[in-house]
Amino acid sequence: MTISNILLIFLIIGIAIGIIYYHINSQKKAEVVSEIDIDDQTYTLEKMIEFIKRRLDEITKINLYDIGLSEEELKRRKSKKYELKKALKGCTYGDVNDKKYVKELIYDLLAKEYGVSEMNISKAISFDVPSMLTPQDKFDILIHIYKKEFGYEALGEIIRKYKLDEFKYIQGETKPCYVITEDEINDIFEKENITLSFADKLSIVVQRIYQQYKGYSSIDEVRDMNIDGVSGGVSGLPESFISQVAQTDSADYLAQIEEHKVQRACDSIWIMFHGKSIRLAFLSFGTEAELKRVCQNIYKYNNPGQLSDTNGYKINEMKDGSRVVVVRPSMSETWAFFVRKFDVKRATLEQWTGKTDGKEDAIELLKYLVKGARITSITGEQGCGKTTLLMGMIENIYETMNLRITETAFELHLRKVYPTRNILSMRETDTIAGQECLDVQKKTDGSVNIIGEVATDPVASWMIQSAQVASKFTLFTHHAKTFPDLVTALRNSMLRAGVFKNEKTAEEQVVQVLNFDVHLTKDFRGKRYIERITECTPVISKNEYTYDHRKEKTLEGKFDKFFDNATQFFAKTTDRQSYEYRNILEYIDGEYIITNKISDKNIKEMRLNMTDTDAEQFDNFVARHWGEESVYRMEDERKEKSKLASKLANAKDTVSTVAKQGRKPRLAT
């Protein structure tokens, strides 16, 4: 056999193998293509979403025992199937890792099975014709590009770079507001002059499919960003109002509603960014049904129960620690949700106070309040940063102290920041009352009791209890506007909870446990700062009655002395002041200024709870701001000298006794 014949045989065999391989591949593709009727609508988002739903449903429901796999392959496929089912469930809870896994699978299905290519991808989103891109398309592209460089700071970077968080007037409005408009998104998109690769385009399409299928619609990427929070359904016209409008208003207004020129509830998307509530006017859920779908899915982590017309609200947390509140009709006029995010890694006093003048004094004072084990409230309106400041203060609690936390919904998540510390958080459930949680905490070796928010009468009662007997000291937040309001609110809560029947007695109990109040303020521009730090001093009632009537000889004189005592009695009973308060620190003209001195009683007790180093630094702080040497440092020095003098006297007595006995004295070194 010649060499040419051998080469010919190999060539024929190679061609045969190629034909067989091509035939097998074409059969596999035919199985998928046969399910896809290719037409002009094939590569639209709607068709792709249908395909992804069907394929993922097939993958998760397939019976692996019916397809004749080897044991090793069966085990591998079962593991993959379980992993996918777990990810499909977890991504709806706000788990970014499960979301990433599902998106990667969708990417592969579109690229390898559905046949999405550079030629047809623009049928889903008009990447090649920028003028046809919607504001949401442009926003998705911007977020994708910025996310590649800045990660979850992408949205914050866009807002800071283009100053989107400033007051502005928009068409049809007479007052300035915080809003990001379609025109601003269009201008930013033109300025960026973005060039997208095919991988970028497909990733953006995948995100759009994912957010309609398993995500949170238009807010899906926004929710993941490092912002203070996001909410929806809180403005605009609810669907239920349209019929009323049709009966009462003009046909022109009704036509504007139908053409979506009037904002509806499903067009309402707001974010909280650095304390500013900003409306995203360029984003929308599209329909009331889509807003309802998001509300029904966003609170489901850890199975908190069903949101129904009977139980019209749910408070829960998401897997990343965000707090979520969902309400629905008929409790509220429309479906709505509120997601609050807490960046525990950046919650430090230095980060919170920013670059304000005098911030060093404010930070130092807050640290000494915590190290001195003072019962401290943090008050202020919603969104002013109470929880964030509380986290920053907790950082300065001595590590030898065990922390016990009571919350309505888990928000602090201190174990993420301090995994080696002794920390346990508890919350009230449908079957376990808050009082039971507190009773259990009393038996868990706790040193510091932290109450996330005193918002109801029973919680106020728990706070007073824990401050009196359950822990070394307590930290809590409250919504009071002034210090007297705080005392009055806590007093009234104690009365309503049935703990006390007398106002004066309840007020005395409150002021006896409340040492300091840190009040936060958020101005109309969203700037957050400490307005004041106030000290509370209980007024101790003294016995001012006299027995001078016994010395009087006449009846008139005895009556005069009796009426003097009666006047004292009525003054104590009616107008007696149970506490005094003064500001230790105030925010004046953009600067933190130390004002009044902390009372000697609190200084003494604070020093007793500090280490020697911290006590010395605190003494220096007192001397620096109030121009006097610490009384207690001088007392310590006198006590030390007294102890030394006592030791020397004892030594002399010992030497004298030994000498009298005729023995040689032996002195210790």
High-pLDDT (> 70) share of the chain, %: 82
d(CA 455, CA 325): 15
Mean local confidence (pLDDT), 367-391: 89
Mean local confidence (pLDDT), 115-120: 90
Which residue, among 301, 290, 302, 295, has the nearest Cα to 327 in the 3D structure?
295
User: Is the per-residue pLDDT at 638 higher than 70?
Assistant: no
315: enclosing H helix or E strand: strand 313-317
Q: Yes or no: say if 418 and 386 are a contact pair by the CB < 8 Å rule.
A: no
Which residue, among 488, 485, 518, has the nearest Cα to 379 in the 3D structure?
518
Q: Yes or no: say if 209 and 52 are a contact pair by the CB < 8 Å rule.
A: yes
User: Is the per-residue pLDDT at 174 higher than 90?
Assistant: no
pLDDT for the residue 407: 79
User: Is the per-residue pLDDT at 465 higher than 90?
Assistant: no
**Range with lowest mean pLDDT among 273-277, 282-286, 490-494, 522-526:** 522-526
For the chain, report the end-to-end CA distance as a whole number of angstroms: 111
CATH architecture of 124-341: 2-Layer Sandwich (3.30)
Distances (CA, A) of 212 to 45, 54, 217, 223, 293: 10, 14, 5, 14, 10
**Range with lowest mean pLDDT among 45-59, 69-83, 281-295:** 69-83
Cβ-proximal residues to 292 (8 Å cutoff; 6+ apart), any chain: 328, 335
Which residue, among 153, 273, 269, has the nearest Cα to 528 in the 3D structure?
273
User: Is the per-residue pLDDT at 564 higher than 80?
Assistant: no
Provide the pLDDT confidence category of residue 545 given band limits of 50, 70 and 90: low
Q: Yes or no: say if 467 and 474 are a contact pair by the CB < 8 Å rule.
A: yes
Q: How far is CA 577 from the centre of its chain?
A: 38
Angle ∠(600,396,379) on CA atoms, nearest 5: 70
Report the SS3 class of residue 229. strand
Provide the pLDDT confidence category of residue 24 given band limits of 50, 70 and 90: low
Provide the pLDDT confidence category of residue 34 given band limits of 50, 70 and 90: very low
Q: Yes or no: say if 286 and 294 are a contact pair by the CB < 8 Å rule.
A: no
Helix (H), strand (E), coil (C) string for 153-180: HHHHHHHHHCCCCCCECCCCCCCCECEE
Provide the pLDDT confidence category of residue 107 given band limits of 50, 70 and 90: very high
pLDDT for the residue 58: 87
pLDDT for the residue 584: 94
**pTM for this model (two decimals):** 0.74
Provide the pLDDT confidence category of residue 67 given band limits of 50, 70 and 90: confident
Q: Report the mean per-residue pLDDT for the chain.
A: 82
DSSP annotation string for 66-105: GTT--HHHHHHHHHHHHHHHHHHHHGGGT-HHHHHHHHHH
Residue 529 in tokens: 């700062």
d(CA 534, CA 377): 10
**Range with lowest mean pLDDT among 121-125, 442-446, 488-492:** 442-446
Q: Yes or no: say if 471 and 404 are a contact pair by the CB < 8 Å rule.
A: yes
User: What are 309-365's pLDDT values in tens digits?
Assistant: 888 999 888 888 888 999 998 899 899 999 988 765 556 788 777 778 888 999 999
User: Is the per-residue pLDDT at 22 higher than 60?
Assistant: no
Beta strands in 335-483 (DSSP E): 336-340, 376-379, 403-407, 423-427, 448-451, 473-478
pLDDT for the residue 637: 54
Mean local confidence (pLDDT), 217-246: 83
Cβ-based neighbour number of residue 648 at 10 Å: 10
Mean local confidence (pLDDT), 226-239: 88
Cβ-proximal residues to 525 (8 Å cutoff; 6+ apart), any chain: 167, 276
Q: Sort residue 229 into left (φ over 0), alpha (ψ -120 to 50) or beta.
A: left
User: Is the per-residue pLDDT at 172 higher than 90?
Assistant: no
User: Is the per-residue pLDDT at 509 higher than 50?
Assistant: yes
pLDDT for the residue 385: 83
Which residue, among 128, 120, 140, has the nearest Cα to 206 in the 3D structure?
140
Q: Sort residue 450 into left (φ over 0), alpha (ψ -120 to 50) or beta.
A: beta
d(CA 622, CA 624): 6
Q: What are phi and psi of 215, to 5 degrees?
A: -90, -160
Provide the pLDDT confidence category of residue 254 given band limits of 50, 70 and 90: low
User: What are 258-311's pLDDT values in tens digits?
Assistant: 555 678 889 999 999 887 889 999 999 989 999 999 999 999 998 888 888 888
User: Is the per-residue pLDDT at 5 higher than 80?
Assistant: no
Provide the pLDDT confidence category of residue 406 given band limits of 50, 70 and 90: confident
d(CA 553, CA 546): 16
How, if at all, do strands 448-451 and 516-522 pair?
unpaired
Provide the pLDDT confidence category of residue 28 given band limits of 50, 70 and 90: very low
Provide the pLDDT confidence category of residue 30 given band limits of 50, 70 and 90: very low
Best-predicted range by mean pLDDT among 2-16, 20-34, 64-78, 106-120? Answer: 106-120
d(CA 541, CA 523): 40
Report the SS3 class of residue 657. helix
d(CA 669, CA 657): 19
DSSP annotation string for 428-457: --SSS-HHHHHHHHTTTT-SEEEES---SH
High-pLDDT (> 90) share of the chain, %: 33
Which residue type, as a one-letter code, is found at position 63? N
Name the one residue in this structure whose structure tokens are 């049709």: 246
Cβ-proximal residues to 438 (8 Å cutoff; 6+ apart), any chain: 406, 462, 465, 466, 470
d(CA 272, CA 385): 12
**Range with lowest mean pLDDT among 72-86, 499-513, 626-640:** 626-640
Higher pLDDT, 41 or 178: 178
Spell out the CATH class of 352-539+578-596. alpha beta
